[in-house]
Chains A and B, each alone.
Chain A
Amino acid sequence: MDMDYEKIGLKVGLEIHQQLNTSEKLFCGCKPELFKEEPEITFLRRLRPTQSELGQIDRAAYFEFQKGVKILYEANKTTSCLVEMDEEPPHSLNIEAVEIALTVAMMVKAKTVSEIHVMRKTVIDGSNTTGFQRTCVIALDGGIKVGEKSIPIQHIGLEEDAARKMGEEDNIIRYRIDRLGIPLIEAATAPVIRSPEEAQQVALAIGGIFRATGKVIRGLGTIRQDVNISIPKGALIEIKGVQELELISLVVEYEVQRQLNLIKISEELRKLGAKEEEIIEEFFDVTDIFKQTKGKVIQKALEQNQQVLAVKLPKFKGFLKRELMPNFRLGTEMADRARFWGKVGGIFHTDELPAYGITTEEVEKLRTAVNAEEQDAIIFVADNLENARDALKAVAKRAREAIRGVPEETRAPNSDGTTRYMRPRPGAARMYPETDIPPTQITEDYIKKISSNLPEFLEQKLQRLMSEYELNQKLAKQVLDSEYGELFEVIAKEISVSPTTVAAFLTETLKALKREGIQIEKVSENQIREIFKHVSIGELTKEAISDVVVWLSKHEDKSLQEAIEGTGLRLLSEEELKKIIDDAIKNSKDLIEKSGAKTFGPLMGMVMKEARGKADPNTVSALIKKKLEQLERKLGQRFN
């Protein structure tokens, strides 16, 4: 869909977070690492929403608490101590992280605060053992240029990363606290971005500044982008935790689509005379209608003595199947709400029936049971009474919001760029001081020291990449934008392979592999370094690099040696190579006798067919030439 985003009035703001490569976590001495093994320590907690002085309480949080949701935390002793377990007060703010944040602040010309105050931001979904995230402002009011446009950077901050969600079973959510406390740098732009492409460019530019410090962790899950999107008549929607840069423009595009469609639906509903007050929370017990049903989901629920509850949505017929984003309908939106608030598996709605084993007859009975008119839609769920009620309440609320327009909420990204309901937007009152950590003063001398030591700016770096490594401008630009930019310099400095080869591999080849669905982030930077070292000492050919990387991406935890053996791309010894050449010559005896030196081309082709990736073409060519010369001498006369 081609859209005129200026005309639509799109406004996007970004908050970019990236993990810092410090030696310790932000508030304790633990290693900022993750673990894959079984946890050594587990403990069970509940988080109780704290009341504010204004009597406000986070609605979603309180709801989860009332539902008796418990959190099971997993830890090991390398990556967590009592601080992450919330069994010991935080240690003082990691000054190494502060220094990185100050560096970024100065690179974007933000004014640094004279005293850093760590705050507690209430987060009660269990992702923080304390029930809040520790966060602080380092600098305010900076800005960067993206193309010709100035993008204000409102705030540079530091915060602790949250625990990783590992799963959810019944009323227990599992989190792993290894990630909790890893320092994150945060940069927030003003909502001045006007198109999906621009959003992506700005994210790229900020990412580049972070990387320029040389102190950020890279790879999947180390960067998280929160995207705030609004359009006139729509709502401010926060999409939290987009992990891939490539997804940002799509996320924005789909969100605009979603909001435009919701606005249209709201207008149509109102035109049809749909009224919020007519959507009432009257839930009909329609269990009897489905006693004999062939619908598997309902059958299973009834076997467990659960109920089927239904709610009528007047004038909604046809709207529930309306697509908001690709493969995402208004009905999907309601199902998300029902799952969140009712903990149900899903919902059924009449726009999609008969289907799933539910018959026309059952639908008719249903319509009668709830006194539905022709234009009405019905939504029903099968679960225990409490869950079913909560689910339908959430559905009714969402339906009322559909009449009004676009509801404000926080959404989470799906891997295809669409988004799903995450939770209502938290209220403003959720920040209070972290009294366990005294304010950190930033003296002017300290600022001077850091500012005299800033990493090179991107424009300078581009010029340097071109002159120092003789890269052409296109490749130099790609290196600059690439998350492997630093790795490029490391490799180019330590080995003799041509920098252009290294750069082309790290940018174009890796991108192409990624497009083919290869999970290149599973190959560590050290492994890539090793690969090039092997190339430079002649133990691996340039041609074999891609295959080895692909193999490593599919065999995590395996070594390069294993990869070389696994792919069979071990460099052939001269003996082996000579044998292949001899065989080729033997097979081409007639041809050689007939064409003499002109057989070089076909011979090379034959040999390389077998030795591709296992021998350096230059070596092969030299050997063939030598062999042909020998033959020439032997068969001298006949060659003339």
Chain B
Amino acid sequence: MSKKEEFFGYKSKAFEALRKAEAEIGDMIRITRNGEVYEGILIPRSEYSDEKHIALKLKSGYNVGVHITSSTKIEKTGKGAKPTFTLPPLPEQNPELPKVTIISTGGTIASRVDYRTGAVRPALTASDLYSVVPELANIARVDTQILFSLFSENITPKHWTEIAKAVAKQISQSIDGVVIAHGTDTMGYTAAALSFALQNLPIPVILVGSQRSADRPSSDAATNLVGAVTAAAKAPFAEVTVAMHETPSDASIIFHKGTKVRKCHTSRRDAFKSVNASPIARIQDRKMIMLTDDYTKRNPANKLILKPEFNDKVALIKFYPSINPTMIDWYAQKGYKGLIFEGTGLGHVGNCFHEPIRNAIKQNVLIAMTSQCIWGRVNMNVYDSGRDLQALGVIPLEDMLPETAVVKLMWIFGQTENLEKAKTLMKENIVGELSPRTLPEKTGTE
């Protein structure tokens, strides 16, 4: 442990005082201040807290912050006991059960709490997972791989490539299903990316996350994980899907198609919704029910087509009143190969964009249109503004989600430099990202 970590969160005055007392996180210390005495365990402080307080865990279990001044006395009164948790032995694995690999990319799907210091430690290894979520042992023989530990907002197309390759490797080792643990913020983008990168799948690839942290008893993490592993082990489909709660209840887990899923709520358990499509399946009372016939069947004979390259010179632009159109010029100058608009309504942007769009297209930038309405299909034949944009060369993207569209365009330019080929691919349905019919599915979260 480095000195920096030992004083985690403590800086300047507090840091000095603690260093002088030779106190480390977890030690018993006594603080004397204006005749008042506080005794407790030194606990870490958030990096952004001020430097005037020291956080203590009292004997009662409560934490308090003690304000320190130059006259405050700090003594170390006892050495902290290190947690001595030893994992229980792995349960005997039933050789009859399917094999599932869980790939961690970040976001904790399981964790345990160090009540002494308040630290929450992720449970990532197979034995760790079995001990925290023991039901897994009855569903599959689980193996784990820790790929990276990232908040999902830090995941980039490079990571998509790595995840795709990791999945491909697992598939080559004849696994029955893959589960990818992922932070929820950009899980929808990763799901779309993997849908394009991993084609003709023999087995399901299930992304899973949680909306409530795994350290709380009410977390959705374990239920989602159990659902995801169940699907990876037994589902009849071989698709990239996102597995999350269907409602605020713990009653069912729903599986969304990777190219048709979007995070539609900041905090609810059922934040993920299938947009312009039906979810693929649901698990309720431990049984899986298929909700559509439109899916690729699990088939070990399918030969995976791995196309894991992406080109990040693609941007997503959301139109709003007063948006400055010269940004298009900037993208063109910076060598961007494609732009996806999140236009208004049926697929519009203001007239002020005509000139910059014309110039960008002249410079071989591919420009395509989706709608910021989220639900529904663009139609650029209804109004003049749509027809004008089409005349300029803007490609309407039907019912494709803006997020899926930007991922698809990155993927296309990862496969080809040819603009005409890229345009053709963009208009083509490759992995269910475009559908010819819009059905009256539910919208929103209700």
Tell me whether B115 and A54 are in contact (CB under 8 A). yes
Find chain B residues with CB under 8 A from A131 CB.
Answer: 216-218
Interface residues of A in 116-150 (CB under 8 A from B): 116-117, 119-122, 124, 129-132, 135-137, 140
Assess the B65–A116 pair: CB atoms within 8 A. yes
A residues near B249, Cβ cutoff 8 Å: 43-45
Q: Would you call A117 and B63 a contact (CB within 8 A)?
A: yes
Min CB gap A310→B, angstroms: 32
Among the stretches A81-89, A256-264, A504-512, A597-605, the one at the interface with B is A81-89
Stretch at the interface among A388-396, A400-408, A423-431: A423-431
Contact for B118 among A157, A432, A441, CB less than 8 A = A432
Q: Which residue of A lies closest to B83 (CB)?
A: A53
Q: Are B216 and A50 in contact (CB under 8 A)?
A: yes
A48 within 8 A of B: yes
Q: Is the CB of B118 within 8 A of A124?
A: no
Interface string of A68-111 (1 = CB under 8 A from B): 00100000000000100111110000000000000000000001
A131 to B216, CA, bound (A): 6
Neighbouring B residues of A157 by C-beta, 8 Å: 62
CB neighbours of B263 from chain A (8 A): none
Report the bound CA distance from A131 to B211 in whole Å: 15
Bitwise, B65-104 to A at CB < 8 A (1) or not (0) is 1110000000000000001111010000000000000000
Q: Does A360 interact with chain B (Cβ within 8 Å)?
A: no
A135–B83 Cα distance when bound, in Å, is: 25
Q: Is the CB of B212 within 8 A of A46?
A: no
Residue of B nearest to A138 (CB): B64
A381 lies within 8 A of chain B by Cβ:
no
Partner of A155, one of B60, B115, B216: B60
8 Å CB contacts to B: which residues of A401-439? 428-433, 435, 438-439
The chain A residue with its CB closest to the CB of B213 is A435
A190 interfacial contact with B, CB 8 Å: no
CB pair B115–A52 under 8 Å, yes or no, is yes
A119 to B62, CA, bound (A): 7
Query: In the assembled complex, which residues on chain A have CB atoms less than 8 Å from the CB atom of B318?
Result: none
Roughly how many angstroms separate A438 CA and B83 CA in the complex, as a whole number? 26
In Å, the complex CA distance between A52 and B219 comes to: 15
Question: With a CB–CB cut-off of 8 A, which chain A residues contact B61?
Answer: 119, 121, 428-431
The contact of A117 among B65, B85, B115, B131, by CB within 8 Å, is: B65
CB distance from B252 to the nearest CB of A (A): 10
Chain A residues whose C-beta falls within 8 Å of the C-beta of B211 in the assembled complex = 87
Given contacts A53-B112, A115-B53, A131-B218, contact A87 B269 (CB under 8 A): yes
Bound-state Cα–Cα, A49 to B219, Å? 10
Of residues 305 through 329 on chain A, the ones whose CB sits less than 8 Å from some CB of chain B are: none
Known: A82-B267, A88-B268. A53 touches B217 (CB 8 A): no
Across-interface contacts of B36 in A (CB, < 8 A): 111
Task: Please indicate which of the listed interface residues A82, A121, A157, A432 has the most CB atoms of chain B within 10 Å of its own CB.
Answer: A432
Report how far A433 CA is from B216 CA in the complex, Å: 11
| Residue contact A431 to B212, C-beta cutoff 8 Å | no
Tell me which residues from 427 to 459 in chain A have a Cβ below 8 Å from any Cβ of chain B: 428-433, 435, 438-439, 441
- A501 interface residue, CB < 8 Å from B? no
B250 in contact (CB, < 8 A): yes
CB-based contact A433/B118 at 8 Å: yes
Residues of chain A from 34 to 74 with CB closer than 8 A to chain B in the complex: 43-55, 61, 70
Contacts of B46 in A (CB 8 A): 435, 438
| Contact present for B53 and A430 (CB under 8 Å) | no
* Cβ–Cβ < 8 Å partners of A87 in chain B: 211, 248, 267-269
Question: A375 at the A/B interface (Cβ < 8 Å)?
Answer: no
Q: Which residues of chain A come closer than 8 Å to B62, judged between CB atoms?
A: 117, 119, 135-137, 155, 157, 431
Which residues on A sit within 8 Å (CB–CB) of B425? Answer: none
**B251 to A122, Cβ gap below 8 A?**
no
| B215 close to A54 (CB less than 8 A) | no
Least CB distance, B71 to chain A, in whole angstroms: 14
**Given the contacts A45-B249, A52-B115, A113 and B64 also touching, CB distance less than 8 Å:** yes
Report yes or no: B113 in contact with A51, Cβ–Cβ below 8 A. yes
Interface: A114 (CB within 8 A):
yes
CB pair B218 A441 closer than 8 Å = no
B13 at the interface (CB under 8 A from A): no
Give the docked Cα–Cα distance between A49 and B131 (Å): 12
Beta-carbon contact of B217 and A114 below 8 Å: no
Report whether A137 and B115 are in contact in the complex, using a CB–CB cutoff of 8 Å.
Answer: no
Measured CB to CB, the closest approach of chain B to A426, in angstroms, equals 11
Instruction: Compute how far the CA of A51 lies from the CA of B114 in the bound complex, rounded to whole angstroms.
Output: 9
Query: What is the distance, in angstroms, from A184's C-beta to the closest C-beta of chain B?
Result: 15
Cα–Cα distance between A435 and B215 once the two chains are bound (Å): 11
**B residues less than 8 Å from A45 (CB atoms):** 218, 249-250
Per the 8 Å Cβ criterion, residues 242-268 of B in contact with A are 247-251, 266-268
Which among A48, A55, A137, A430 has the greatest number of chain B C-beta atoms within 10 A?
A48
- Report B1 CB to chain A, min CB distance, Å: 16
Residues on the A chain within 8 Å of B63, using CB: 117, 119, 433
Q: Which residues of B contact A49 (CB under 8 A)?
A: 217
Residues of chain A lying within 8 A (CB to CB) of residue B289? none
Q: In chain B, residues 33-69, which have Cβ atoms closer than 8 Å to a Cβ of chain A?
A: 36, 43, 46, 49-50, 53, 55, 58, 60-67
Kindly report which residue of chain A lies nearest to residue B48, judged by CB atoms: A438
Query: In the complex, A433 Cα to B266 Cα: how many Å?
Result: 22
Q: Which of B112, B132, B218 contacts A130 (CB 8 A)?
A: B218
Contacts of A86 in B (CB 8 A): 212, 218
Residue positions of A touching B, CB distance < 8 A: 43-55, 61, 70, 82, 85-89, 111, 113-117, 119-122, 124, 129-132, 135-137, 140, 155, 157, 428-433, 435, 438-439, 441
Query: Can you name 26 A-B pairs with beta carbons within 8 Å?
Result: A43-B247, A43-B249, A46-B223, A47-B217, A50-B217, A51-B113, A52-B115, A53-B121, A54-B116, A55-B86, A82-B268, A87-B268, A113-B66, A115-B55, A115-B64, A115-B65, A115-B67, A117-B63, A117-B65, A129-B218, A130-B217, A131-B218, A432-B113, A433-B118, A435-B118, A439-B65
What 8 pairs between A and B have smallest CB-CB spacing?
A115-B65, A131-B217, A114-B67, A53-B114, A431-B61, A117-B63, A429-B115, A44-B249
